[in-house]
Structure 1
Amino acid sequence: MSDSVDLQGAAALLDAAATVTVLCHVNPDADTLGSGLALGLVLERRGVAVQVAFGSPAAVPESMRSLPGGHLVVPAADVRRDADLVVTVDCGTAGRLGSLRDRLDGAPRTLVIDHHLSNTRFGTHNLIEPESEATAVVLANLFDVWGVEIDADLAHCLYAGLVTDTGSFRWGRPDAHRLAERLLATGIDGSAITRTLLDTHPFGWLPMLSSVLASATLAPEAADGRGLVYAFVRRADAADLGPEEVESVIDIVRTTAEAEVAAVFKEVGPQQWTVSLRAKTAVDVSAVAAELGGGGHRFAAGYTAHGDPDHIVAALRDVLG
């Protein structure tokens, strides 16, 4: 049975657990990992036996290794199967847990904490705030109700999620800026956090970009004449790079002035791709992704595709119109 819970209900669930597993989604970004570590730190301080984990890759991405609470992260294979409570953070579906999805089955209670409108509410209890711009915002709200003081370590984790999910506040609403002000007031270095997360890449990123951007194609008639721009990241292009470098490509492709919608097709196996979608103002790409088996936000979403490049582009264009 699945129930919606409010902030007080979520706090009560957490208070009742002696062992908690906090699960982030695969290929973690700063919102899922920052939220997971912030929650993990709070639980650890309260004497709870807590683990934080994600299904893949095997290690924390380089750009997020400075987040406080990293000592709580355990390898996927070492995640306990008998926790009182399993909490997922920033996971719209159970499938986003990858190999750790089965940990939901062994827990008497599961709490889903998320901000995706498309969340499938797969927990026994679900705290979903679609109006929040990041799961980090949901955690900040939860901490306030729970009586948790947000100190510099927690603020660092939450700011990481907030700055990335708002595109460095490019689409942040007033509440996001107010929370940022509050987090920065703890003394964290917001500029350094942002630079580490968003503006630091290995040299190999540059030749990868050269190859990938050379594949970019503009289809001005797509999306009912609003325009689609898309590019492919082949495995050979990104062989020596981490998933965060690959994920960053969409933020360059989406700047194309002639296209409302941007897509990056990332090869993960033979004729298997993960697809990142972005829109500017007029297209709800979460609905587009949902039709193709995925989900996300109105202006940022994704899905998995199977087939050759011509086939997967045609499938996307059919849904876009």
Structure 2
Amino acid sequence: MLAAADDVVLLAHVNPDADALGSALALGLALHRRGARVHVSFGAPEQPAESLRDLDVADLVVPAAEVPAAPELLVVLDTGSVDRLGSLASRVDGAGTTLVIDHHVSNGGFGTAYYVEPTAEATAVIVLGLLDALGAPVDLPIARCLYAGLVTDTRNFRAASPKTHDMAARLLVAGVDAEAVTRPLLDTHPFSWLAMLSAVLSTATLEPDEARGLGFVWACATTEHIHGGRQEEVESIIDVLRTTAEAEVAMVLKQVGPLRWTASLRSKGRLDVAAAAMAMGGGGHRSASGFTVEATTTDGSDVVADVRRALAAAPLL
């Protein structure tokens, strides 16, 4: 399908991270070079995160409003369910063929063709295999996109298999400057982030008996806390909270509307938080997942109570 396509739209999930957007751009760039008409996009926000913008060397990213309504081939990457496409979910029905490329164990299937590999540490791993099957050269621009996906979804290669380390080495040989790619993704924040982080962490609550007795720590980021903050700064809070020694599971609950909340869940490998997220209407990986819900309280306390129950029923790993 990829080799024959002349008109391709590649979509990442809303608020795309480096794996989602990097995978879409790597595959899109290869197809663009083969002569295909290529658009890369996502449902929200209007622009990619600042730390990801220099990956788009061929100006393939377009606003959601400019995505064709009925592409010949729609490729959806790193997206576990159609609702994660946001305003672009309707493109699934309009496309001639929809190919889903993903590594989320919770992917329930919503396209006409699938390449879902739950054991892959990142969607970038799958895309690199597809590029090889296409005979597409993996040069520096493509390698940078893939490396960005690998470094973020493996938590700087702490959760990478030997095979994935080999892939990273191949990308470094292609010319990737690991420090230059990694620093803006993982190690750079504006000064204002410190105040936001302090405010959100001041709400942190440790519940050592929750999450099947393994410990649960959570914090609440209200609209007041995160007003004006970049999306990537808000998303990085979970990486600080998850370092809590006494908790197996960490959650950051983020207010995105008066009663609407989105959550990031992380585990250290002993509890399946994907199962908990699915019980909340979301999904993801066993150690990293999330969901979005409408609450009945303005402080999100009912959501936290529901998460406690979901964690109590989640399988041990």
Aligned residue for 2:145? Answer: 157
| 3-state SS of paired residue (1:265) | strand
Aligned residue for 1:278? Answer: 266
Aligned residue for 1:98? Answer: 86
Aligned residue for 1:9? Answer: none
- AA paired with 2:301? D
Q: How far off is 1:176 after superposition?
A: 1.4
- The one-character-per-residue Cα deviations of 1:203-228 (angstroms, maximum 9, x if unpaired) are 11110001000000000010121100
1:263 is the counterpart of 2:244: no
Q: Percent identity?
A: 54
In 2: Cα distance, 1:281 partner to 1:92 partner? 20
- The one-character-per-residue Cα deviations of 1:5-62 (angstroms, maximum 9, x if unpaired) are xxxxxxxx01222101011110010000000111110111011011000111011111
Aligned residue for 1:18? Answer: 6
Deviates more, 1:213-222 or 1:145-154: 145-154
In 2: Cα distance, 1:164 partner to 1:15 partner? 28
In 2: Cα distance, 1:292 partner to 1:115 partner? 20
Task: Give runs of aligned pairs for residues 59-138 of structure 1, distance below 5 A.
Answer: 59-69=47-57, 71-138=59-126
Q: How far off is 1:243 after superposition?
A: 1.1
In 2: Cα distance, 1:69 partner to 1:300 partner? 30
| 3-state SS of paired residue (1:218) | strand
- The one-character-per-residue Cα deviations of 1:99-130 (angstroms, maximum 9, x if unpaired) are 00111111111100111111111110001111
Q: How far off is 1:187 after superposition?
A: 1.2
Task: Give runs of aligned pairs for residues 22-61 of structure 1, distance below 5 A.
Answer: 22-61=10-49
1:316 is the counterpart of 2:304: no
- The one-character-per-residue Cα deviations of 1:236-278 (angstroms, maximum 9, x if unpaired) are 1111111111100000000000000001000000121101000
Q: RMSD between aligned alpha carbons?
A: 0.9
Match of 2:132 among 129, 133, 144: 144
| 3-state SS of paired residue (1:263) | strand
- AA paired with 2:307? L
In 1: Cα distance, 2:159 partner to 2:71 partner? 37
Unaligned runs of 5+ residues in structure 2 are 313-317
Is the CA contact (8 Å cut-off) linking 2:23 and 2:145 kept in structure 1? Answer: yes
In 2: Cα distance, 1:82 partner to 1:263 partner? 38
Unaligned runs of 5+ residues in structure 1 are 1-12
Runs of 4+ in 1 over 3 A off after TM superposition: none
Is the CA contact (8 Å cut-off) linking 2:29 and 2:58 kept in structure 1? Answer: no
Aligned residue for 1:10? Answer: none
1:254 is the counterpart of 2:245: no
In 1: Cα distance, 2:270 partner to 2:58 partner? 39
In 2: Cα distance, 1:230 partner to 1:306 partner? 18
How many residue pairs match? The answer is 309
